[in-house]
Amino acid sequence: MNAFAAIMRRDLILAVRYRAEAAYPLLFFIIVVVLVPLGLNPARETLEIIAPGVFWIGALLATLLSLERMFRSDFEDGSLELMLISPHPLPIIVLAKMLAHWLVTGLPLLVAAPLIALLLGLPASSLAVLLATLALGTPTLSAVGAIGVALTVGLRRGGMLLSLLVLPLYIPVLVFAASAVSAAAGGLPVLGQLYLLGALAALSFTLAPLAAAAALRISLS
């Protein structure tokens, strides 16, 4: 637990120190969510239909933009190798970095969601469901992304390969989350989608640290 807290504190301090870089995913998310409706019909009826998909596509791309920061700086300064040979369990270290990544990337999206939802014309009845999907879905994005980053961290230009590896795995989160928000806007039940998102989050945070730790050992061997 001491190692877990130390890694989380270190990553959060680095995010505060380089806060301009840490703010890029949130700014990218806002730009995507604002520009896509401008390129289509900005009528309120159209926005209510496309808003859930636009919102979650923006969240997915913003998370993808920030994934490499999870392990890349540690790999470049050599601290990642020290983590591998430390006496602390590597999955615990990976879990701490995953949680720190979500706090820096996913939590700001959750905080900005109400204002963005108003800009997109989402009905107030679906706002609580939107926040629930973000709270359940964005941790899954960080956890699954950690596996992809761990597999490509040793490559000089692994950004494109990372996208090819991770994007197909993000599709279930995108589909269930967007459908839940759309169903809530239409007054339909959403518990099924929320249960599936919760199951994905529990499964990813249980298995992703083990898979990412194994991938790091392979990448740095």
**Is 70 exceeded by the pLDDT of residue 158?**
no
Which residues, 6 or more positions from 150, have their beta carbon under 8 angstroms from its beta carbon? 71, 94, 211, 212, 213, 215, 216, 219
**Is 80 exceeded by the pLDDT of residue 180?**
yes
Q: How far is CA 152 from the centre of its chain?
A: 17
Q: Which domain holds residue 153?
A: 2-219
**Is 70 exceeded by the pLDDT of residue 55?**
yes
- pLDDT for res 201: 92
Mean pLDDT estimate for the chain: 84
The total domain count for the chain is: 1
State mean pLDDT over 165-181.
89
Work out the angle between the directed axes of helices 107-120 and 24-39 (0-180°, nearest 10): 20
The tens digit of pLDDT for each residue in 66-98 reads 888 888 777 877 777 878 887 888 889 889 999
Q: What is the pTM of this model?
A: 0.87
The tens digit of pLDDT for each residue in 25-42 reads 888 888 888 887 777 766
- pLDDT for res 198: 93
**Is 90 exceeded by the pLDDT of residue 197?**
yes
- pLDDT for res 43: 66
State mean pLDDT over 15-21.
79
- pLDDT for res 139: 92
- pLDDT for res 41: 65
State mean pLDDT over 168-186.
88
In percent, how much of the chain has pLDDT > 70?
A: 95
The tens digit of pLDDT for each residue in 113-134 reads 888 887 777 777 788 898 999 9
Distance CA 153, CA 111 (A): 30
- Number of DSSP helices (H) and strands (E) in the chain, helices first: 11, 0
Best CA proximity match to 86, nearest among 205, 6, 204, 206: 6
